Structure 1
Amino acid sequence: MKNLHSLGLSIFIALLLSACGGGGSSTTVSTNTTTNTDNTNVSTTASKPALKAASNAELESLLKQQMLDMYGTAHSIYNGCGGDFCYAVPVAAATTSPTATADTSKSVSSTNTQETDVDEADRIKTDGTYLYTTATDQANVRIFKTNGAGNTLVKDLPLGNDTNIRLTGLYLDSNTLAALAEEQQIYSIWSRWFMPSFWQNQQSQLYLLNVANPENPTQTAKLTVDGQVISSRRIGSTLYLATRSTPSLVGLVQYPTTEAEAAANRTLINNATLVDFLPDYQLNDGSKNAIFSGTDCFMTQYTAKKSYQSSIISLLAIDMNSATPTPQGKCFAGDTETLYASSDAIYLATTSYSYPSDTAASSSIAYYPPSITTDLHKFSLAGGINYRGSGRVDGHLGGQQEQKPFRMSEYKDVLRVITYNGDNNLTTNPSPARLYTLQENTANQSLDTLATLPNNTRPQALGKPGEQIYATRFLGDKGYLVTFRTTDPLYLLDLSNPADPYIASELQIDGYSDYLHPVGDNYLLGIGKDAIAVDGGDSGRGAWYQGVKLSLINITDPANPSEQQKIIIGKRGTETAVSQSHHALTTLQQGNNLQVALPISLHDGAANYPSGASTYYNWTQDELYRLNINTQTGTMQALAPIVSETAPSSPNYGYSSYQWSNDRSVMIGEFIHYLHGDKVISQAW
């Protein structure tokens, strides 16, 4: 367990899904099977969740029916989950300067990404001389010029006049800086991902800036698209956005409680046309323009059924260097929750679930676990965005949004996916994790399953009953998986034959890793938490997590991995931003030395109640923890941390700064620059 293994979170998710109906199908799943070379039955096109092209009339009819299902009937209860569906409940910021010239002679770190040739948005980017950052409480781009162990703020540029927007990430491509922004909302995580009304009337902005002269940047374009950005990637000068929007109409009563309101809604919906439902875009705050026609859009199999999810998912490509950037791509009526991108393709994934049909009339539906599956849709990026096929696998991708893309990886045209299949009550599932390998079938636009693990020939479980999935990482033809309840089993997977993957080895060590990072060819760095088992052993109740743990794993011989070295930072309560976002980790290879930096909120003070495994310790300071790793010998050497903020002198002060989770750093040559809040601390490495 992670603080008793996050039992409450898992149970709450299960109850939420049980009560609210969630975002998927209620239809029965049928599966076609084939036999691979190991005589193992595997799914090929399970229930065929393929997207199909929609005509204008067909798509309009579907969206109208979904809108009528949601808004065309009066309901007497509206409080989170009521009537037939759930809805979102709201809960508790010029002078002329020299042209920039990046110093290419210096080694410079870059944003830590899942794939080396696919960039990801983050709150700091660098060209080797200037740092481009996002402000914490304003929609401002702040630009710092670095000078060895110093830095100077040279520009604080506000974007737009709307005080309700916030910047969510930056991209830098040569002299073009792209800033993504969205409306700042106060909604619970459940409303964001499970409630369609969260996505209504939302817009996302893309600001393009010419930074050839970083001290006097100029805005070249502002693009506004309907919908909220789920995720984004950059490949070359093309920016890819996955957005989600929920159709709405002016005058629509969101929660009709009388027949008169419902009747007015029905009239409004029936009189609308397709253009009223599909997302639009605006360039430089000009007139609205349609992004899609009906022929650009698809329908999922389950959207043909009655559904309370009327979302439009858009996958858009935007040329960052265009003076008039115009979004182009594809859309489908349905849902998606995450995006994974290789250099050749983008995969959109979403979890759906169904209950046994004989429980429909039961008042005890929460006792009937749903059948949970994940749909995968592949879009190639060659010559534009083109739909290639869909597949379905059992299980889901976990509850941490940042970790979901790492559950997927494409290698030599084969998609590898790890899903969680454990019971909601953490009891007896023999293998809580499952591996799938899938390959595109051009004949029927499907992603066919080549193999699963475990299977009849290779029955060894991935994880033990009651364990959850933590870190996953695919590197070439190898896969790495961390599951945890009392100890950290690290599974090394051999994927060299995608039709017959197998577990090469299993390593048992204390604690768990939230993130796995390659260190040279022979080592793997795990970043997570140390842990102490309840009652000192595996009592079935889990373990109490402690301080942050860095674990260097020797994977020279995949059949015999070992923990080469470990470092424990702080006591219980200590956190690292890397556990929330892999972008917080910064590395730079200098010869045989890998420089590593990660933000830490250190809790190393007095215990705030009698000591024990479950005791939290008071906050000491926020810092950038630094270490050198010799990639040849596998030794870690910690350096003095860079302290950004310390606790007040009061001995009872136990609360850390709120800023540590957004801390970042950049390495340029022999210097490091640490972004904490809106300030940058620079010094020699």
Structure 2
Amino acid sequence: MDIEKGTIRKITTALLCAVLSACGGGSSGSGAAPSVEDSSNSLLRSVSSDEEFVARFKSAYTQTNGNRQDQQPPLAAEGAAADNSESPSGYSSTYTLEDNVDEFDVLKYDGDYLYIVPTIQQTCCFISQGNAAFASDALVAPQNPQNPGSIRILSTNPDDASAQEVTTIPLADGEYVQGLYVQNNRLISIGTTQFYGSYGDAWQQIAPWGQQSVAVKIYDTSNIDNISQLWNISIEGGYVDSRRIGDILYLISRHTPYWDNIYYYPASQQEANANKQTLAGTTSADIIPRITVNEQTKPLLTAEDCLITRNDKADEYAYPVITSITAIPLNNPNSAQTTCYDEDANGIYMSANALYLSQARYGSSEGQTRVHKFALGAGKPDYRGSADIAGSLWNRGQVDFRMSEKGNQLRVVTTRYTGDSDDLRDHQLTILQEATDDLRLDQVSTLPNSSRPAELGKPNESLYGVRFLDDRLYLVSFEQIDPLYVLDLSNTTDPYIAGELEIPGFSDFLHPVNDNLLLGVGQSAQNQGLVKLSLFNVSDISNPSELTTVLLGKDGGWNYSEAQYNRHAFTYLAQADGTDRLTVPVQTSYNSDQGTYISENRLYLMEINGKSNPAAASLDLIGNIIASPSPAENWYGGQNRSVIHDDAVYFLSGDYIWSALWADPSTQIGPQ
């Protein structure tokens, strides 16, 4: 990683941690909670009564901080993805981690219209534009709309790569739209009352939890000239994440009630006693979040619908936050159902069948991650069990790639911190499955183990790219070289390292081209500062090889791609003729020979050819589309997305679209 990029990541993390240090974690739910017998060893159990629900919640404010298990503020996932990119309609869709599990994003496309969320302008951390110069004055972006702005809708003509704004959806004051879904002539927006940032998925780190709400608005777009709002849904709490499976929107939120005179982290017995007095008359109605659907308000859940942490120790910390999983039928949001529990959630992974919520726990010096599984179906999410895993999960990159479900098993990669200065971190694969006799996730196997002690990565190497693909696991670790590991998971009771390749640089993001080819997006070590794309031949997993590399950006400058930490910035579309097309945005900053500072955003167009013969496959650079901001404004091009539709390419940079035909990217249109 180059120094400037590393510095920005550290500053961003420090700012987030400073904010997070003021908040806590917790959870709750709605609908009938699963029946958990008292003899169970499950980590969560049903609330026995309204009185127990209130007492547990109060106890979070009447214990001193010395009993807390989460002394360090956890970091949430920075983004993640599945490959449903091969669209039979001839156009690309949002890159996701799992097929058939849609993820919201700032740009959505339905084959006819582009739907664009306005950039939420940052209030700090801009690169000074005072001495900026840009490649082409003709490509200067128009003035960005001021908050709240509007959702822009542009019609497209893929024959000539043109786009034209046809309408907008104005946003209310204080309405921060984080992303969109499109489905069956419906546009679904997810808005919040707080802005959580735009680096990766930093907005998932919610602090403080109180006095927030999440807004879900569903629009009918069947007549684009007369868009109507069908549903307006508001849920009390901070936004964690969401996914869509068919007609069901799954929304994860966190809530804590607000009191003017409460010590949220009592540091002394005097403060704890003051909280007891403040909360003396508290009822469950004061604690439970509310949902409003088209101006009709009701409780999101009941106390008896919640799960709570099994607490057998009198001094074990109770969480003052309710984490809710709400299943919202898009056809009838009034029938939404919720499950909740009383622990925090640092990140999620969702398959087509289950939702896994995970949280960092700090009772162990090596780190520990707790995972809860909820089965998905026609009704509310159903608790299926939990497990504690050694090591940390949510520490860098697109970390939900570190989790993968196959059948009834969950595969997880964590990082354990050893305290050994010569080898600070060890990486571990853990495979879990549901127990047959309890609500529990049992360990099937781990790697390394006593029979296979070889480490996953060289000493002191951090873990970068991770990708589970059927019975294989690809891992990229890095300190000075870039080992690519291929693990064979076909026998889940005995996984093993099948092959290894050492090359310079590293890959943050891994994409499967097919069973024999793997694409990596990361950074070059030999040409420091350049974005590196590597095409790997993995047809022989015992002997993986690097076929070719392409370097992107300006040599000697500072270059990075949003696709390294946010999969939604990566676009991939397979063609009927066997050629695969892909686009990668790169932001470049450098000093020109004249001493001026130049900043530009480019979208690089590439093809993978000959993929049916992995030994002869190639990665070919076609060209790029450039979008540069005006030097007169504090322009922030944080959202870079693209769409491929037949031979047309649409590049969203900031709030505006640049476009071109694939065969002639230098002849471009924009900004629109």
Higher relative contact order (CA 8 A, sep 6+): 2
Say yes or no: does 1:580 pair with 2:565: yes
Aligned to 1:662: 639
* Preserved CA contact (<8 Å) 2:250 2:328: yes
1:376 aligns with 2:361: no
Instruction: Provide Cα deviations, 1:115-138, integer angstroms capped at 9, x if missing partner.
Output: 111110111111111111111143
Distance in 2 separating the partners of 1:459 and 1:260 = 51
Contact 1:594 1:628 in 2 (8 A): yes
1:292 and 2:301 are equivalent in the alignment: yes
Q: Could you tell which deviates more after superposition, 249-258 or 380-389?
A: 249-258
CA contact (8 A) 1:85 1:308 kept: no
Tell me the secondary structure at the aligned position of residue 578 of structure 1: helix
Query: Closer, same or farther in 2 for the Cα pair 1:472/1:255, shift >3 Å?
Result: closer
Alignment partner, residue 592 of structure 1: 578
Structure-1 residue corresponding to 2:535: 552
Structure-2 separation of matches of 1:600 and 1:371:
36
- Match of residue 607 from structure 2: 628
Counterpart selection for 1:54 from 34, 47, 55: 47
- After TM superposition, give the deviation of residue 503 of structure 1 in Å: 0.7
Instruction: Indicate if the aligned counterparts of 1:245 and 1:279 stay in contact, CA closer than 8 A.
Output: yes
In structure 2, the residue matched to 1:40 is none
On the 8 A contact 2:356/2:374 being kept in 1, the answer is: yes
Q: Which residues of 2 match residues 180-259 of structure 1 at below 5 A? A: 180-185=190-195, 198-249=208-259, 252=262
Matches within 5 A, 1:134-173: 134-137=117-120, 138=148, 140-148=150-158, 149-159=161-171, 161=172, 163-173=173-183
Indicate conservation of the 8 Å contact 1:420/1:432, yes or no: yes
**Deviation for aligned residue 1:521:** 2.5
What secondary structure sits across from 2:51 in the alignment?
helix
Q: Does 1:446 align with 2:440?
A: yes
Please list the CA deviations of residues 338-365 of structure 1 after superposition, one character each: whole Å capped at 9, or x if unmatched. 110111111001110116xxxxxxxxxx
Aligned-partner residue type, residue 680 of structure 1: I
Inter-partner Cα distance in structure 1 for 2:238 and 2:464 = 27
Which digits, 9 at most, give the CA deviation of each residue in 1:289-332, with x for residues without a partner? Answer: 1111122211123696443741111111001122x444312100
SS at match of 2:558: coil
Q: How many equivalent pairs are there? A: 591
Distance change >3 Å, CA 158–CA 187, structure 1 → 2 = closer
Instruction: Confirm or deny: 8 A CA contact 1:607 1:618 kept in the other structure.
Output: no
Distance in 2, Cα, partners of 1:243 & 1:318: 13
Q: Provide closer, same or farther for how the CA distance between residues 67 and 595 of structure 1 changes in structure 2, counting only shifts above 3 A.
A: same
Q: After TM superposition, give the deviation of residue 568 of structure 1 in Å.
A: 1.2
State whether structure 2 residue 507 is matched by structure 1 residue 529.
no
Partner AA of 2:170 in structure 1: P
Structure 2 residue ranges without an equivalent (≥5): 27-39, 75-86, 121-147, 663-672
Counterpart of 2:338, as a letter, is: G
Deviates more, 1:639-648 or 1:213-222: 639-648
Whole-angstrom distance in 2 between the partners of 1:311 and 1:206: 21
5+ residue gaps, structure 1:
26-46, 74-81, 89-103, 356-369, 533-543, 610-616, 650-654
Q: Which amino acid aligns with 1:524?
A: L
Counterpart contact for 2:25–2:345, Cα < 8 Å: no
Counting aligned pairs with the same residue, the percent is 34
Against the structure 1 CA distance between its residues 657 and 524, is the aligned structure 2 distance closer, same or farther, given a 3 Å change threshold? Answer: farther
Contact 2:600/2:626 (8 A) holds in 1:
yes
TM-score (norm. length: structure 1): 0.79
After superposition, what is the alpha-carbon deviation per residue over 1:569-597, rounded to whole angstroms, capped at 9, x for unaligned?
12341011102310000111113111101
1:333 Cα offset (Å): 0.5
Q: 2: CA distance between counterparts of 1:140 and 1:425?
A: 52
The answer for the alignment partner of 1:353 in structure 2 is 362
Decide which moves more: 196-205 or 594-603: 196-205
State the match for 1:91 in structure 2: none
Which residue matches 1:386? 382
Cα deviation, residue 51, structure 1: 1.0
1:566 to 510, 524, 549: 549
Q: Is the 8 A contact 2:205 2:346 kept in 1?
A: no
What is the alpha-carbon distance in structure 2 between the residues aligned to residue 447 and residue 513 of structure 1? Answer: 31
Tell me: CA distance 1:426–1:528, structure 2 relative to 1, closer, same or farther (3 Å): farther
> Is the 1:423–1:466 contact (alpha carbons within 8 Å) kept by the matching residues of 2?
no
SS of residue paired to 2:573? strand
Cα distance change of structure 1 residues 525 and 165 upon mapping to structure 2, 3 Å threshold: same
Is the 8 Å Cα contact of residues 70 and 308 (structure 1) preserved in structure 2? no
CA separation in 2, counterparts of 1:195 and 1:644?
30
> After the TM superposition, which of the residue ranges 497-506 and 263-272 deviates more from structure 2?
263-272
Q: Summarize the alignment of residues 103-114 of structure 1 with structure 2, pairs less than 5 Å apart.
A: 106-114=89-97
SS of the residue corresponding to residue 62 of structure 2 reads helix
User: CA 1:24–1:185 in 2, change beyond 3 Å: closer, same or farther?
Assistant: closer
Matches of 1:252 and 1:514 in 2, distance apart? Answer: 43
Bigger drift between 135-144 and 390-399 goes to 135-144
Report the secondary structure of 1:531's partner residue: coil
Residue 109 of structure 2: aligned partner:
126
How far did 1:407 drift? 0.7
Q: 1:256 to 1:65 in 2, by over 3 A?
A: closer
State the 1:531 CA deviation. 1.5
Q: Which amino acid aligns with 2:406?
A: Y
Whether 2:627 is the aligned partner of 1:644: answer: yes
8 Å CA contact 1:24–1:351 kept in 2: the answer is: no
1:64 and 1:575, CA in 2 relative to 1: closer, same or farther beyond 3 A?
A: same
Looking at structure 2, the residues matched to 636 and 87 of structure 1 have their Cα atoms a distance apart, in angstroms, of 42
**Matched-pair contact (CA < 8 Å) for 1:2–1:485:** no
CA shift for structure 1 position 188: 12
1:375-395 Cα deviation digits (max 9, x unpaired):
110000123210001011101
Whether 1:271 aligns to 2:286 is no
Question: Residues 134-171 of structure 1: CA distance to partner in whole angstroms, max 9, x if unpaired?
Answer: 11143522111001211110111113x3x222111111
Q: Distance in 2 between matches of 1:588 and 1:656?
A: 34
Hey, what's the Cα distance between the residues in 1 that align with 2:310 and 2:204?
19
Q: State yes or no: 1:416 paired with 2:418.
A: no
Q: Which amino acid is the alignment partner of residue 582 of structure 1?
A: R
1:462 aligned to 2:456?
yes
Aligned to 2:123: none
* Distance of 1:482 and 1:227 partners within structure 2: 37
Q: Deviations over 1:382-419 (max 9, x none)?
A: 2321000101110111423x612111000121100000
Q: CA deviation at 1:183?
A: 1.5
Q: For the residues of structure 2 that align with 1:528 and 1:334, how far apart are their CA atoms?
A: 35
Taking the aligned partners of 1:419 and 1:86, their CA distance within structure 2 comes to 17
